[in-house]
Structure 1
Amino acid sequence: MAVDIGGTKIAAALVADDGRILRRSSVPTPGGRDADLVADAVLGALADLDATDRITHRVAAVGIGSAGPLDVTAGTVSPVNIPAWRAYPIVELLRTAVPGVPVALAGDGQCMALGEYWQGGAEVRALLGMVVSTGVGGGVVLDGRVQTGPTGSAGHIGHLTVDPDGPRCPCGGRGCVEVYASGPSMVRWAREQGWTPGSSAGVAGADGAGLAAHARAGNPVARAAFDRGARAVAAAIVCAAALVELDEVVLGGGVVNGAADLLLEPIRTGLAAIAGLEFIRRVRIRASTLGAEAGLLGAAALGLAATTPSPARSRE
């Protein structure tokens, strides 16, 4: 069983050990500061699967992917976008709901990377998954194992510094990838440079979709915003590849899903422009083939990993 907890929705699925999603459900994530209300939503997503018999007889493990911060050792989560949960014992909640099976926890970006590794179709040993959306996150999978770090915080590629003299990031750092490449950051920069939403591109929204429409229509500031974000992502990929010798980088998230045509080639071009070492230059960069399902599939693989030595490698 897989559970994917985000600030907008909570999704759950029954997933076969070959990656087929047998049944799924989704409920909105409650706002406010009532922790029990959010917990009830998680339990409601499980109930919506209408899978009592399956839970009793067929579920081998539960994998949870959650927005962070989180502490995998303590089994708690404190998602920035779910203010009701601070050090919330999500693992304990799921152990009570689905007794007698292992329960595993990882970050949502880590689960996205693991899902792409497991079901994305590429034969790789080292994969970086990047989620470019309202923020920038990710995860690294090496030889079939997602790298969580001591507490679960590994993979925060959005907070790699790509310009030490760059703008301050809300995290407290300076020049982070996220302040260049997240959807809100690109829109903010474009507006500072004089871009205004309007109907010239057929879209009036002051958001990433509106910015993308203007970029496709030839607006130079909108296009420059995407190029600027792409250069930051490329610099982060170069750093990550130098550190762990990546085979492949998979890009997902709302910004990439809606504007892959504006980002992928500039990212590849940006990498080629600054990478010197051959093993970095040959890193493959592609868009996610799984979309929103990557996180659920990664959570399922995470749970399966608690029952076998290296489950995500069953496809090899």
Structure 2
Amino acid sequence: MTTDLVAALDIGGTKIAGALVDDSGAVRERFQVPTPTREPGEAVLAAVEEVFAALVATPGWAAVRGVGIGSAGPVDAAAGAVSPVNIPGWRGFPLVAAVRRTLGAGLPVTLVGDGAAIAAGEHWCGAARGVDNALCMVVSTGVGGGLVLDGRLRTGPSGNAGHIGHLCVELDGEKCPCGGRGCVEGIASGTAIARWAGEHGLRAPDGGPPTAAHVAAAAREGDAVATVVLK
């Protein structure tokens, strides 16, 4: 074990979270803010900067040797850009360049889809540890996925391999913000489940309609993660 740390950033439709992680996978520091989903892109970037400011202020920041970003998709890993379906203010947003400006030169920054990040984490020290092939899914505000094949994370040329949230499963289903119809995300995400629950008379603890946050709160750290090991 070394004393070096990595700064991790998670961009989601409900929250933007950051952490300092050591080489055993242990989280040393953690901070998060709500995602200003319906505000302009500048406000979303300001939330990212707030998260990083909190991490930079911790004693462990001096040991950070790199930054990893997992973002709701789709992403363009080669260009360092993101276009999260649930964050309309970001379309082709150059997130890697923005993070480099925020933190200054010197730290390498790597971007992948959040499903790929989850798959990497589960393969490293989670449910897929020690297996060669796995599909890892995240079900939160949206639905994402990542692939481990032959013992290696496979992100594909753009960083979106395994992102199953926008596969069509209902040909005449509702229109999705991605432009398709009947997507997995539109049926099985926390947002969709909350909408279905509200339409069927269920209410949140305060008596109002349920939200994706209520669905997410029922799962560890705000997300439900499923891992399927492929034999």
| Aligned-residue RMSD, C-alpha | 3.4
Where does residue 155 of structure 1 map in the other structure?
162
Where does residue 258 of structure 1 map in the other structure?
218
Q: CA 1:166–1:190 in structure 2 vs 1: closer, same or farther (change >3 Å)?
A: farther
Structure 1 residue matching 2:117: 3-state secondary structure: helix
- Deviation, 1:206, is 3.6
Give the Cα separation in 1 of the matches to 2:210 and 2:143: 16
1:45-194 correspondence to structure 2 within 5 Å: 45-51=51-57, 54-56=60-62, 58-96=63-101, 97-121=103-127, 122-163=129-170, 165-170=171-176, 171-186=178-193
Give the Cα separation in 1 of the matches to 2:146 and 2:211: 23
Q: CA 1:50–1:183 in structure 2 vs 1: closer, same or farther (change >3 Å)?
A: closer
Partners of 2:203 and 2:210 within 8 A in 1: no
Count of residues in correspondence between the two structures:
215
Where does residue 229 of structure 2 map in the other structure?
none
Q: Which amino acid aligns with 1:103?
A: V
- Deviation, 1:133, is 2.8
- Deviation, 1:65, is 0.9
Q: CA 1:54–1:43 in structure 2 vs 1: closer, same or farther (change >3 Å)?
A: same
Q: CA 1:7–1:191 in structure 2 vs 1: closer, same or farther (change >3 Å)?
A: closer
1:14 lines up with 2:20 in the alignment: yes
Give the Cα separation in 2 of the matches to 1:100 and 1:156: 31
Partners of 1:111 and 1:294 within 8 A in 2: no
Deviations 1:116-167 (A, max 9, x none): 222215421112111223332211122453322222222221222334x442
Q: CA 1:63–1:98 in structure 2 vs 1: closer, same or farther (change >3 Å)?
A: farther
1:207 lines up with 2:210 in the alignment: yes
TM-score scaled by structure 1? 0.57
Q: CA 1:25–1:208 in structure 2 vs 1: closer, same or farther (change >3 Å)?
A: closer
- Deviation, 1:257, is 7.0
- Deviation, 1:52, is 7.1
The structure with the largest alpha-carbon Rg is 1
Residue segments in structure 2 that go unaligned for 5+ positions in a row:
1-6, 226-231
Q: CA 1:83–1:175 in structure 2 vs 1: closer, same or farther (change >3 Å)?
A: closer
2:35 to 29, 32, 42: 29
Give the Cα separation in 1 of the matches to 2:195 and 2:15: 25
Residue segments in structure 1 that go unaligned for 5+ positions in a row:
210-252, 260-289, 296-316
Deviations 1:183-217 (A, max 9, x none): 4444555677xx32369xx88554379xxxxxxxx
Give the Cα separation in 2 of the matches to 1:7 and 1:118: 25
Structure 2 residue matching 1:109: 3-state secondary structure: helix
Deviations 1:52-94 (A, max 9, x none): 77545x2221100112222111101122333332322211122
Give the Cα separation in 2 of the matches to 1:84 and 1:191: 27
Q: CA 1:208–1:3 in structure 2 vs 1: closer, same or farther (change >3 Å)?
A: closer
Partners of 1:70 and 1:78 within 8 A in 2: yes
Give the Cα separation in 1 of the matches to 2:124 and 2:223: 12
Q: CA 1:78–1:23 in structure 2 vs 1: closer, same or farther (change >3 Å)?
A: same
**Percent identity between the two aligned chains:** 52
Q: CA 1:89–1:174 in structure 2 vs 1: closer, same or farther (change >3 Å)?
A: closer
Structure 2 residue matching 1:60: 3-state secondary structure: strand
Partners of 2:74 and 2:84 within 8 A in 1: yes
Structure number having the greater strand percentage? 2
Q: CA 1:116–1:191 in structure 2 vs 1: closer, same or farther (change >3 Å)?
A: same
Q: CA 1:255–1:187 in structure 2 vs 1: closer, same or farther (change >3 Å)?
A: closer
Partners of 1:16 and 1:22 within 8 A in 2: yes
- Deviation, 1:98, is 4.7
Structure 1 residue matching 2:64: 3-state secondary structure: coil
TM-score scaled by structure 2? 0.75
Q: Which amino acid aligns with 1:100?
A: G
